[in-house]
Amino acid sequence: MNDFIQEAERIVLEQVSNEQFGVSELAEAMSMSRSNLLRKIKQHTEQSASVFIREVRLKKAMELLQQGSLTVSEVSYEVGFGSVSYFVKCFREYYGHPPGQVGQNSEPESIPAEETSAPKKPALQLSWKAMAGIAAGIALVVLVVVLSNRLTAPSVEIDKSIAVLPFKNESSDSSNLYFINGLMESTLNNLQKIGDLRVISRTSSEKYRNSGKTLPEIAEELQVNYVVEGSGQKVGDQVLLNIQLVEAATDRQIWNEQYTREVTDIFALQKEVAQQITGSIRAVVTPAEREQLARRPTDNLVAYDYFLQAQEYFHTRTPEGYLAAIPLYEKAIAEDESFAHAYANMAISYYLLDIFKREPEYTEQINRFSDQALLYDPQSDVSLLAKAFFYFHTKEFSLALPHLEKALEYNPNSSAALQMLSEYYAFRVPNTAKYLEYALRGIQLEVMGQDSVTNSYGYLQLSNALLQAGFLKEAEKYVDLSLDYFPRNPFGPHLKIFTQFAQDGNARRTADLLIKEWKKDTTRVDILQDIGKIYYTLEQYDSAHFWFEKLVYQRQSRGLDVYLNNNAMMAYVYQKLGFEEEAARLFAVYVDYVAQDETRYQSMNLAVQFAYQQQVDVAMEQLMVFSTQENYQYWLLLLEHDPIMAPLRTHPDFPVVIQDIKDRFWEDHEKLRIKLEEQGLI
């Protein structure tokens, strides 16, 4: 064995029980740069450094198991695996059999959930940003392995996933439906506050209001292990509620109760139902969560009745619905001026109304009502979301982030918070790892859209997140699913073209396909700029100029302030063809854009700026700064082929820095893959 590899193995074995010991730590221990370590390990083993470290751990695990004195769970910790299920998965992949077949003190093979659960169907998430139809994502539901502690054998625990189906109104008075729906929603909201549960959103469950499907069929589609269903009626001042909790796999009722309570006891009833359900499936409820369950939205039942009426309109997710809900929220607040949830939903309604408008109209209302919501209940996830929506509305995205994170803390099952966080890291402060992680977490809650169009956009958004993070085949799979649901999705073919380009690099075919797609709708500036970029990359500057000219015209004639990050390459093309004045104008806009850029891409954009200006050393300095960043988009791997970078190619450090960028991307990709697998998200 090579001396270098022997030394690397020795150092890994010294730290084998340290779960945090990874590539960067190994590079530091061997007194070399991370990029040199990656290169040398690849040279001698044809493996990535992270795979090399994992295999050293697995070989040590085999030695320990063969000694027969430790259990599988104990060995997994001894060799630095924080998750027993992930250890078993890796061991099986490497040796061809589970660790339970080695030695005399092994646990049963049923440890990992992956070995006991059937394949699941993909799931979707409905977006709060575009309630009219934009949605995001899919996820695979897996069973979770829970260890009681390091010294005892692990037990398999069923994933505590649950759906609350729409309650049935048994009253002869159909006008009482809003009240019964309110009971369903309160049950859902209380369960969502429990971090030990995964609670499917109301949007996903609503699809089954009049469904003829069996509970096991519904559970399979929603990918849950438990279903709550109920029926009730309001008779005078009394509430009659029948509710049951069903284990989906067996269609077995594991708890049911019939309640007859005074309307004045409605909040105590809601709390009791949540406690009965969590107790029946042995969900862990923390003291902070118990405190949340004990909180009442209002003590004024008249205000609460108006609020429930408003919710019926709010959940239609239409402009007409929001306009009908707002006066009812106002009536609720008139009865109880401290009704935080009513203030919050009114602010959110105004925010969603403005989404449908060309010019914002309700900025002041969104700000005022979200502030009132936070004033009266700063620990409400809905109050925090309302204020986050305001900051999105005013484009103060950094101010929205702490509100979203706090909302998720108070409501771990808030699909709205997860969706907004996913969007934040997709478009506002780009971070491919967080974008994908939050999207997948949200998708576990927003499983089924109510129509094929919503589902199509959901798969499309997930495909984009996967592509940016380098999951190329998975990205193509889900864009295909998007088009299966809604073949006329206008954005699906565009993304499909780039999932193919990412895998085969055929730029000429990509340009031809993009032009064909653009001809379907010649107002599509997103496709225009991509066609121009492809020809620019091919150094076919006449063709690139033809398409960039169309983009410039569209931006000017329609007043669009978009794709300014492409202005440097556009200026480069114009300059190559002798259009010096136009090139200077485009480049000046690019310089202003970079000066205001506060994302992780600023150093990269500065490198482009200085490369364009032939300031090679300064450009290289910025490129080196960027090479230390993490979780950037897959497309940066094509940087070495960028014509603007041509002056840098003769610099001795250029190939090294380019390799560093590539190595870091794939190292981040591998870390993300492992993390998402351990969390059961992919």
Tokens of 63: 């030695």
The pLDDT, as a whole number, for residue 103 is: 56
The pLDDT, as a whole number, for residue 620 is: 96
For residue 461, CA distances in Å to 177, 207, 320, 426 come to 35, 21, 27, 10
Question: pLDDT class for 119, splitting at 50, 70, 90?
Answer: very low
The pLDDT, as a whole number, for residue 528 is: 95
Domains and CATH numbers, the chain: 3-115 (1.10.10.60), 161-294 (3.40.50.10070), 301-443 (1.25.40.10), 485-678 (1.25.40.10)
The pLDDT, as a whole number, for residue 129 is: 36
Of 423, 401, 470, 454, the residue nearest 138 (C-alpha): 454
More confident residue, 184 or 383: 383
**Cβ atoms of 376 and 340 closer than 8 Å:** yes
The pLDDT, as a whole number, for residue 158 is: 47
More confident residue, 34 or 406: 406
Q: What percent of the chain has pLDDT over 90?
A: 51
Of 76, 68, 78, 104, the residue nearest 92 (C-alpha): 76
pLDDT of 576 higher than 80: yes
Name which of 204-218, 518-532, 566-580 the model is least confident about. Answer: 204-218
More confident residue, 150 or 405: 405
The pLDDT, as a whole number, for residue 451 is: 61
Mean pLDDT of 428-443: 87
Q: How far is CA 33 from the centre of its chain?
A: 32
The pLDDT, as a whole number, for residue 139 is: 24
More confident residue, 153 or 475: 475
The pLDDT, as a whole number, for residue 481 is: 86
CA terminus-to-terminus distance, the chain: 36
- Integer Cα distance of 286 and 622 in angstroms: 48
The pLDDT, as a whole number, for residue 23 is: 80
The pLDDT, as a whole number, for residue 83 is: 64
Name which of 199-213, 310-324, 437-451 the model is least confident about. Answer: 437-451
Instruction: Give the burial string for 503-537 (b: 16+ CB within 10 Å, else e).
Output: eeeebeebbebbeebbeeeeebbebbbbbbbbbbb
Residues 6+ apart with CB under 8 A from 27: 33, 34, 36, 37
pLDDT of 131 higher than 50: no
The pLDDT, as a whole number, for residue 118 is: 34
Question: How many residues does this entry show for the chain?
Answer: 682
The pLDDT, as a whole number, for residue 645 is: 96
Question: pLDDT class for 1, splitting at 50, 70, 90?
Answer: low
More confident residue, 150 or 339: 339
**E-assigned strands of 248-317?**
252-262
Q: What percent of the chain has pLDDT over 70?
A: 90
The pLDDT, as a whole number, for residue 325 is: 97
Mean pLDDT of 529-553: 96
pLDDT of 157 higher than 50: no
Could you read off the pLDDT of 167-180 as tens digits, one per residue? 888 877 766 788 88
pLDDT of 358 higher than 80: no
The pLDDT, as a whole number, for residue 373 is: 97
Name which of 9-23, 115-129, 421-435 the model is least confident about. Answer: 115-129
More confident residue, 89 or 633: 633
pLDDT of 140 higher than 80: no
pLDDT of 39 higher than 90: no
Q: Report which secondary-structure segment, H or E, holds 556.
A: helix 541-558
Could you read off the pLDDT of 218-228 as tens digits, one per residue? 888 888 899 99
Mean pLDDT of 477-497: 90
Mean pLDDT of the chain: 85
